[in-house]
Amino acid sequence: MRNAPTILHLDMDAFYASAEQASKPSLRGKAVIVGGLGPRGVVATASYEARVFGVRSAMPMAQARRLAPNAAYLVPRFGFYRAISEQVMGLLHGLSPLVEPLSLDEAFVDLEAGQAAWDASSARLVGEKLRADIRAVTGLTGSVGLAASKMLAKIASEEAKPDGLVLIEPGTERAMLGPMPVRTLPGVGPATGDHLRRAGISTVDDIAEAGEDELVRLLGKAHGHALHAMALAHDDRPVVAEREAKSVSVEDTYDVDIHDRLRVGMEVQRLADRCVRRLRGAGLSGRTIVLKVRRYDFSTLTRSETLRGPTDDPAVVREAAARLLEGVDTTGGVRLLGVGVSGLADYTQEDLFAQAAGEGTELADDEGEQGGAVEERVVVVERRWSAGHDVRHAEFGHGWVQGSGLGRVTVRFETPGSEVGRVRTFSVDDPELEPADPLPLVEGGAGVSVDEVRG
């Protein structure tokens, strides 16, 4: 550990929900819950107003609706959040070359490496300026923790929430950690916490007093050693600028179990294409194709196939995923499907399979092997209006979807800088209503395209 609190941890406050509140004047100060809205959906983020009712991230959406029936429930706009995240990460990179993102809304920064801070006073000034800059650029708030190690900086930012800054002076770590519950420490989840509690260990001080041998007996060698070191505030992990991705994957949970084998196959093909788009967006390719299937009884099967070399060809990934699906029994119904690629590299090896016809194309060839005319098929796709997503009406301007169903869509017409807007209802196929790009939260800020939001 270093002698100055020059490791900074930033955590944006209720990020997704706060971004939605900032973009929608009618939701400011109200309970907002972002996540999957189907019966099997889960909460991605809950605003602080929603947390008062006991709603938390990763909670089943059905439970959240019981706790907060009058909250606003919105479908995530990940492209929009990503655009805001890039603005925040740009501010962090202005402080140091060593920035370690953990997610869209969370990162460590080594202020010493960027010569931005060298003692407690300079670190506090940097932290306060960063919070002000984030608010000015994005209109949102973030909480900052400053300490001499990553573990303590993250604990400090949690203590600072919401919209605060906590600095842990070197030499005070043990006194601060001692009375905190064991689950404050990284890696102590509900199961480990209960196990320790049954052994009479409920605080960080209790862990330190129990001794390393007792913790190894209770938790095993690796976990016991690590937990004892953390209780003594020992953490020498450096801030790592590049966190290498181990895999790229996508998955969907379905509101109703899928029993039709043809539909299952089509979903796998669609997921394969989405996975490749994400793979290409990261400039990567991979050798191992992974299929994940969760069946009606919650049993989860994972199958994988390793290719001769890395690829980012959608046809290759689709065919490998289809072959993996052939070995999985789905007759009882499927509730979740996922496709992933691992064994990542930053180059590709072409021509992996002769059967991957139309190499490098985005769509599989649907024509039959026999020559002759191919019947043209016209597929009419009903437009979906997701709650919370942006729209524009030819007459009423920019707004967002409050809800839809029974052939109708309800829109509130307002923008980040407007007063609370009026609500109007339209037919779902109204030709004057179209999806729209999200507007920047701060005038002059970065926007994002509809395609990015859908991605």
* Under 8 Å between Cβ of 172 and 25: no
Concerning whether 443 is annotated as a catalytic residue, the answer is no
Name the pairing type of β-strands 247-258 and 397-405. Answer: unpaired
Q: Cis ω on the peptide bond leading into residue 314 (within 30° of 0)? A: no
Residue 440: CB atoms within 10 Å: 22
**3-class DSSP assignment, residue 105:** coil
Give the span between the Cα atoms of 253 and 310, in whole angstroms.
Answer: 28
DSSP string for 34-47: EE--STT-BEEEE-
Q: What is the DSSP string of 216-239?
A: HHHH-HHHHHHHHHHHTT---PPP
Residue 133: both structure tokens together: 């800059």
Catalytic residue among 49, 100, 106, 414: 106
Nearest to 77 by CA among 145, 26, 16, 147: 16
d(CA 436, CA 455): 14
Q: Are strands 285-295 and 165-167 parallel, antiparallel or unpaired?
A: unpaired
- Residues with catalytic annotation? 106
